[in-house]
Structure 1
């Protein structure tokens, strides 16, 4: 996740990508002062400036997708239902971002998140409605199983509803640990991905146990799921490979 593109070490990251032959997907959570649905025009302008810089970085890293909370500021809630004005502002913002990203052939994927983090976009259905309003071929959906577990009636159905509009997946368990640490039914999730012939990207999104103090401000995590990030990544990857074998072999 790139949460400050203006300070991101792009050249160093590009070298690591090259050395390790990594497929890059960037993501972000727009800060509160870069808010596409703010009543303050300067914050809306800052959001577009932020996203254009993120798209530039994505292109420099060879990425083809930039995802995340890119349609409203992360953590911004009004305590009310979203308004038509907010929808209009978000659509205008995403149209401009998508048009800018199209020069690089980059997809912009919107991530629905839990209601405690945004009043604006919480479900796959809402994301698909937003896509129709934007009506740009390079605007797609990014789903996160942690948020889906809170907001969706049925995870597989939500995945299937997105079909070829699904561009990226965050694979996270119900407690925000790696897959296998919570109660999400991963075989059902993978079967849904198989049903839509999903060939996009997916990653485990959890948080570095060595930086728990920093991450808890944003994620509200209050405990470590492993001693090291390497242990966390290895455990999650082993579990997902086992599920993949069951579903695809």
Structure 2
């Protein structure tokens, strides 16, 4: 099958550049994202208290960049909890984050929207799952009013007990029952939980809404063991046109809290610009090759 995938926006996660969302940091991240040839900047909203939304929106528009926002929750503000007060705090975080994404000019709000980021000590309860479905159904309806989509990012077992595979995410999306709830695949997590990098893409099909490209160790693309050729071919098979965002973490760039949640203990790289330029070329080459199949 020959598929033209040149329309895919290619993004980079802000943590490749900076460890917080203060105005000076966002200004730097925007400039570097533009200079290295990306189309989109993904901003994590874990540090949203320091984010000047208006200034960030203006900087993104001036640079001609798209934006997506992501987040997970916290154990004291977790919509998968059995505790109504904890669920209420989680729902407020989600609604505030959706509003920030919209104010930034973004239409994609994605991540582990269904739970805290961290290892749980027990399986998800039936009550907890019902809470996830109810909260995300309300959030999806609010998002739809503004032409926005929600992404269910599939994370590994050490970061959530709610959604670990593409099949899990599809079942949850079906239960939520809103058309703007899409699936977010991440090759780093797929490497841990899936049988391969192809079958989940085919299973998700046209419900795929966002993609994270990351190595098995979160370092330079191509320096690990992931089969990116097969993964990009699978994206071509389903005609995926959505964002493909490079995500990599190193102890060289630290966001307090999130870095601990994700266990970013090693310095896998220290030069974010070199890393990003390499990733942009790596992704672009595979999209170009895939187009000519």
TM-score by length of 1: 0.94
Secondary structure, counterpart of 2:111 in structure 1: strand
Of 159, 169, 184, 1:127 maps to 169
Equivalent in the alignment of 2:10: none
Equivalent in the alignment of 1:93: 135
Query: Does the alignment pair 1:105 with 2:147?
Result: yes
Equivalent pairs counted in the alignment come to 248
Deviates more, 1:69-78 or 1:120-129: 69-78
Please say if residues 13 and 61 of structure 1, whose CA atoms lie closer than 8 Å, have aligned partners that are also in contact. yes
Equivalent in the alignment of 1:245: 288
Please say if residues 124 and 158 of structure 1, whose CA atoms lie closer than 8 Å, have aligned partners that are also in contact. yes
| 1:204 shift after superposition | 0.5
Of 75, 88, 92, 1:45 maps to 88
Query: Does the alignment pair 1:83 with 2:125?
Result: yes
Of 135, 141, 156, 2:198 maps to 156
Secondary structure, counterpart of 1:226 in structure 2: coil
Equivalent in the alignment of 2:182: 140
| 1:103 shift after superposition | 1.6
Query: What pairs up with 1:54-65 in 2 under 5 angstroms?
Result: 54-65=97-108
Secondary structure, counterpart of 2:245 in structure 1: strand
Greater relative CO, 1 or 2 (CA 8 Å, sep 6+): 2
Equivalent in the alignment of 1:173: 215
- Runs of 4+ deviating beyond 6 Å: none
Equivalent in the alignment of 1:3: 46
Alignment RMSD, CA only?
1.6
Gaps in structure 1 of 5+ consecutive residues: none
* CA distances 1:48-102 after superposition (whole Å, capped 9, x unpaired): 11111111111112211100010111115133x3222221111011011111111
Gaps in structure 2 of 5+ consecutive residues: 1-43
Q: Distance in 2 between matches of 1:86 and 1:227?
A: 40
| 1:212 shift after superposition | 4.5
Query: Does the alignment pair 1:196 with 2:238?
Result: yes
Of 246, 254, 271, 1:228 maps to 271
Q: Distance in 1 between matches of 2:91 and 2:119?
A: 17
Q: Distance in 1 between matches of 2:286 and 2:194?
A: 22
TM-score by length of 2: 0.80
| 1:221 shift after superposition | 2.8
Secondary structure, counterpart of 1:141 in structure 2: strand
Deviates more, 1:121-130 or 1:96-105: 96-105
Secondary structure, counterpart of 2:71 in structure 1: strand
Please say if residues 171 and 178 of structure 1, whose CA atoms lie closer than 8 Å, have aligned partners that are also in contact. no
